[in-house]
Amino acid sequence: MSATTTINVGAIEKELTSLWKQASEDEAGGVARASILNLIVFVPDPADSNAVDDIVIDVTTSHPCRVISLVADRAAESKLTAEVTSRCTLPTPNSKQVCCEQVTITASEDHLDEAPSAIVPLLIADLPVYLWWRAEPKAEDKEVYKWLSAIADRVVIDSAKFNDPEGDLATIARGLGAAGRGPALSDMNWARLTAWRALLAGFYDVPEYRPLLKQIERVTIEYAPPTDNPAAISTRGLLLGGWLASRLGWKLNPAATTRGEQSARFEFTAEGRTMQIEFQHTERAIEPGHLALVTITNAGDSDTASAFSVRRSADGTRIETGVTLDEEKRPKRVLSYEGLSESALLARELELLGPDRVYEEAVKAAGEMIASRQ
Amino acid sequence: MSSTNTNDNPLRQGIRLEKTAEPCVVVIFGASGDLTKRKLVPALYRLVQQRLLPAEFGIIGVARSAMSDDDFRNKMKDALITFSEAKSVDETVWQSFAQGIYYVSGDINDSKAYQQLKERLEQIDTERGTAGNRVFYLSTAPSLYSEAIQQLGAADLAKPKPGAWVRTIIEKPFGHDLESAKELNKEVAKVFEEEQVYRIDHYLGKETVQNLLVFRFANGIFEPIWNRRYIDNVQITNAEALGVEGRGGYYDTSGVMRDMIQNHVFQVLSLVAMEPPINLSANAVRDEKIKAMYAVHPVPIAQLDEVAVRGQYGEGSIAGKEVPGYRQESGVNPKSNTETFAALKLYFDNWRWAGVPFYIRSGKRLPKRVTEIAIQFKQAPLQLFSNIPDQQFEPNVLIVRIQPDEGITLRIGAKIPGQTTRIRWVNMDFRYGASFGVSSPEAYERLLLDCILGDSTLYARRDMTERGWEIVQPILDAWASRTGDLPGYAAGTWGPKAADEMIERDGREWRRP
């Protein structure tokens, strides 16, 4: 027997309503339906569904929303089905239950392109639409992406998961250049860099060191290469490099790019000076894709040099900052450091509405660096 | 203000990086006390871990007992472990933080101690780059504030160096009555400029203050009805289920009017009654708050009992447990007439609020812990549905809940589904806590950071502290001159009968929170 191929959207809404009725009958105090946004999730493989459901449950406790999950079941034939679930949590012991709804649409390859048309009517009026594209940018999903990103206010991706880090990051960069007024783009990998960026920026907050911003000679970024693609530079590293270059107005000199198996060097000019960003494999045992150490070397007046460094401990629980002035080391500072879970990262992205210009420029600068390697 | 503006650091641009505070040293007087180890140092530690404080940061504890820097550091470490949730701290991370902690021993009235302190501060400026910025936190017994401030002035520690700032945080209570509050303000003003002074009123978390301001002024629909034409009365309830919890000795000299009403509750009252500020700077907001409070109609002492009620809790039960009465609490005089409950009816003599009664009540050992503002609107001018048998009509009420469960509720009438036009009055609820599931930062983290950032929105200004006392002082004096026992109420009830009578005489009733 062939599976049902049409989804009756009317049926989905009715199903949701009866779920609500059920919940309020069960619950003496009545239930509160809270929604502050619409979240569309694209799941490229049914095997990921459970993980996604867990993350969604976590996130909806702090960001109650209607979740519409589109699962691509490429192995199946001629399939387009919908399932409706409601999830209730009790935020505090005395309060009413807060319930959120999830609609899961599973589509086979041949029906994937039509699936978005079933999603559009399910969106709650007025509330912002977030699209969590939990997959890499693939040519076969282009139609679906185009349709869904057109109705989204913000698209959330995770460049740490790209199998072809450099190629995919370059695709994103090109997309940003062309988009114009498309949805805002959010990258969870960028959110992971917040601590690094805050600490690096922090060096130059000190009045004594501020002038050194214009005297940076070299930035060395040590990273652990991605497992699937050891020749590639980690996306996190590229984003950090792109961030520095774009914030400080550095122009890339593509002809001067050099490439080794475990390192790469990019040259920039700004205000008549040249500076370099170097990427290197780290020798320490750190998870793939993560940054190990970032060092910024500044030229000083009269041959004095200074260096600022931010270093992550091997087990990832501490982050150290160091300042060396004229070969004299100032006391290091050690701070506790916590990696953020996927739910925590997603929750953060759901708090943002406007475009993240700093990120977009960092990606474009990273894209330029990648393009110059070819 | 300091010469560095971190806003022009291009690496700081963007929506994700928070403003980092400037380099500074926090000097805590009374560092051997509870507050330092339970709240202050842990809050500063957490601020550092969240990268909200720079590397150029130091703490100096000042107290009488002789101790070395290391002794003090170890005490702070033990305290952090005991009072933190995790019950442990990473050794290297702690060492890095502890390097910035120092200790100076000395008596509050010993000028030599202040000279030592001065030398230490210079030393830390050089070693850690703290740039001459200082916060002097007075965490001593209130009777010592005056002495400490004078000494700071005499040692020339209160005047900032060029390009640096000096601030002082003064813990509550600020004075014991109008006279002492004015005296203390005068003493402080001899040594510090008003913009250097941060008086704590931490009851109001920043979330609350900002929620109220956003609710009133970021939405276009509430301001037009926020006045006497549409509002019938406003009730502010600040209830605690707790008793005096072992602090009977202190509370007996204070009472709820001094402890809660003249400071905390009046802060809330001023936020509800104020005119829209011209911007959100601390002074613009505080200007409007004090302007509203100046309009409070003087309490008519001749008819005091019609507008002010006090009470004291007797034994009863709370949340299923039996509890003793106030006079049986330890540290409390068994014949004490200190009020643990008070209710007031106030009016504002201004165009916005003339004729609208503001009913305020605050007390201990009430049935539950709740702080809320209930704004009751006037009923519809014409009752179209009055021919429906047994139909109840209620006014619309807008309730702003400050704690627990911060949020807003609007009570409206809706038609019951079915053939008739029967109306049921329902609550539309919005809960900040539930919807955003994010725990608010600890009050002291917010307070300390705000002071270091130079934001005094959460702190009380000189004029407000004195105005609060001005309003309640005549009431306190009148009550003090009475003989005989004050009204009682059983613990676990909503206060003495006189409080109900006060509002029912006006044809209204207290909302049950």
Helix axes B462-480, B282-294, angle to 10 degrees: 30
Type of residue at B150: Q
The dihedral region occupied by A213, where left means phi > 0, alpha psi between -120 and 50, and beta the remainder, is alpha
pLDDT at B77 over 90: yes
Distance from C-alpha of A237 to C-alpha of A357, rounded to nearest angstrom: 18
Distance from C-alpha of B249 to C-alpha of B253, rounded to nearest angstrom: 7
Least confidently predicted of A88-92, A167-171, A181-185, A336-340: A88-92
CA distance to partner chain B, nearest, from residue A374 (Å) = 29
CA B148-B154-B160 angle, 5° bins: 90
Distance from C-alpha of B315 to C-alpha of B503, rounded to nearest angstrom: 25
Pair type for strands A184-187 and A154-157: parallel
Closest CA relative to residue A134, chosen from A237, A48, A234: A48
SS3 of residue B288 by DSSP: helix
Confidence of residue A287 (pLDDT cuts 50, 70, 90): confident
pLDDT at B381 over 60: yes
Strands (E), chain A: 31-33, 37-43, 65-72, 80-89, 97-107, 129-133, 154-157, 184-187, 216-223, 251-252, 258-259, 263-270, 273-281, 291-299, 305-312, 318-325, 328-329, 333-336
Least confidently predicted of A227-236, B69-78, B151-160, B338-347: A227-236
Confidence of residue A207 (pLDDT cuts 50, 70, 90): confident
On whether the CB atoms of residues B211 and B219 are closer than 8 A, the answer is no
pLDDT at B6 over 60: no
**Domain-wise residue ranges, chain A:** 9-152, 192-339
Which residues have a Cβ under 8 Å from the Cβ of A117 and sit 6 or more positions away?
A147
Confidence of residue B2 (pLDDT cuts 50, 70, 90): very low
Please give the residue that has the higher pLDDT: either B473 or A58. B473
Least confidently predicted of A4-8, B53-57, B113-117, B247-251: A4-8
Average pLDDT over residues A255-269: 90
Question: DSSP secondary-structure letter at A351?
Answer: T
Tell me what pLDDT residue A161 has. Answer: 82
| Residues of chain A numbered 19-48 and touching chain B (CB < 8 Å) | 32, 34, 36
Contacts of A317 in chain B (CB under 8 A): 90
User: Are the Cβ atoms of A334 and B95 closer than 8 angstroms?
Assistant: yes
Q: How far apart are the first and last CA of chain A?
A: 51
Average pLDDT over residues B210-222: 87
On whether the CB atoms of residues A292 and A282 are closer than 8 A, the answer is yes
CA distance to partner chain A, nearest, from residue B62 (Å) = 24
SS3 of residue B209 by DSSP: helix
The dihedral region occupied by A223, where left means phi > 0, alpha psi between -120 and 50, and beta the remainder, is beta
Contacts of A357 in chain B (CB under 8 A): 14
Distances (CA, A) of B419 to B322, B423, B424, B452: 49, 12, 14, 63
On whether the CB atoms of residues B491 and B313 are closer than 8 A, the answer is yes
Distance from C-alpha of A30 to C-alpha of A98, rounded to nearest angstrom: 10
Count each helix (H run) and each strand (E run) in chain B, helices first: 17, 17
Tell me what pLDDT residue A92 has. Answer: 62
Closest CA relative to residue B298, chosen from B472, B494, B61: B472
Please give the residue that has the higher pLDDT: either B386 or B456. B456
pLDDT at A150 over 80: yes
Q: What is the pTM of this model?
A: 0.85
pLDDT at B239 over 50: yes
Closest CA relative to residue B377, chosen from B392, B399, B354: B399
User: Are the Cβ atoms of A210 and B96 closer than 8 angstroms?
Assistant: no
Sign of CA dihedral B431, B435, B437, B438: negative
Question: Exposure of B64 by Cβ count < 10 A (0-12 exposed, 13-18 middle, 19+ buried)?
Answer: middle
pLDDT at B1 over 50: no
Strands of the B197-199 sheet, one edge to the other: B101-105, B57-63, B24-29, B134-138, B166-170, B197-199
Please give the residue that has the higher pLDDT: either B230 or A91. B230
H/E segment holding residue B488:
strand B488-490
Tell me what pLDDT residue B432 has. Answer: 64
pLDDT tens for each residue of B301-349: 999 999 999 999 999 988 888 999 999 999 999 999 999 999 999 999 9
| Residues of chain A numbered 302-321 and touching chain B (CB < 8 Å) | 317-318, 321
pLDDT at A105 over 50: yes
Between chain A and chain B, the number of residue pairs with CB atoms below 8 A apart is: 113
pLDDT tens for each residue of A333-363: 899 888 888 998 998 899 888 888 899 999 9
CA B89-B91-B93 angle, 5° bins: 80
- For this structure, is B264 an active site residue? yes
Whole-number mean pLDDT of chain B? 89
DSSP A155-217: EEE-GGG-SSHHHHHHHHHHHHHHHSS--EEEEHHHHHTHHHHHHHHHHTTSTTTGGGGGGEE
On whether the CB atoms of residues B448 and B202 are closer than 8 A, the answer is no
SS3 of residue A133 by DSSP: strand
Tell me what pLDDT residue B4 has. Answer: 44
Please give the residue that has the higher pLDDT: either B197 or A120. B197
Tell me what pLDDT residue B378 has. Answer: 94
> In a mutagenesis test of the A interface, which of B3, B4, B7, B15 is the best target, namely the one with the most A β-carbons within 10 Å?
B15
Distance from C-alpha of A136 to C-alpha of A153, rounded to nearest angstrom: 19
Contacts of B92 in chain A (CB under 8 A): 318, 334
Distance from C-alpha of A169 to C-alpha of A241, rounded to nearest angstrom: 13
pLDDT at A30 over 60: no
pLDDT at A4 over 60: no
| A199 Cβ under 8 Å from any chain B Cβ | yes
Tell me which residue in A91, A204, A354 faces B433 most closely, judged by beta carbons: A91
Which residues have a Cβ under 8 Å from the Cβ of A346 and sit 6 or more positions away?
A55, A59, A132, A156, A188
Measured in whole angstroms, how far is the alpha carbon of residue B82 from the centre of its chain? 26
Q: State which CATH number among 2.60.40, 3.30.360, 1.20.272, 1.10.220 fits the domain covering A192-339.
A: 3.30.360
| A281 Cβ under 8 Å from any chain B Cβ | no
Distance from C-alpha of B57 to C-alpha of A321, rounded to nearest angstrom: 14
H/E segment holding residue B148:
helix B145-154
User: Are the Cβ atoms of B11 and A201 closer than 8 angstroms?
Assistant: yes
Average pLDDT over residues A174-179: 72
Least confidently predicted of B51-55, B107-111, B242-246, B432-436: B432-436
Tell me what pLDDT residue A181 has. Answer: 67
Sign of CA dihedral A208, A211, A217, A223: positive
pLDDT at B12 over 70: yes
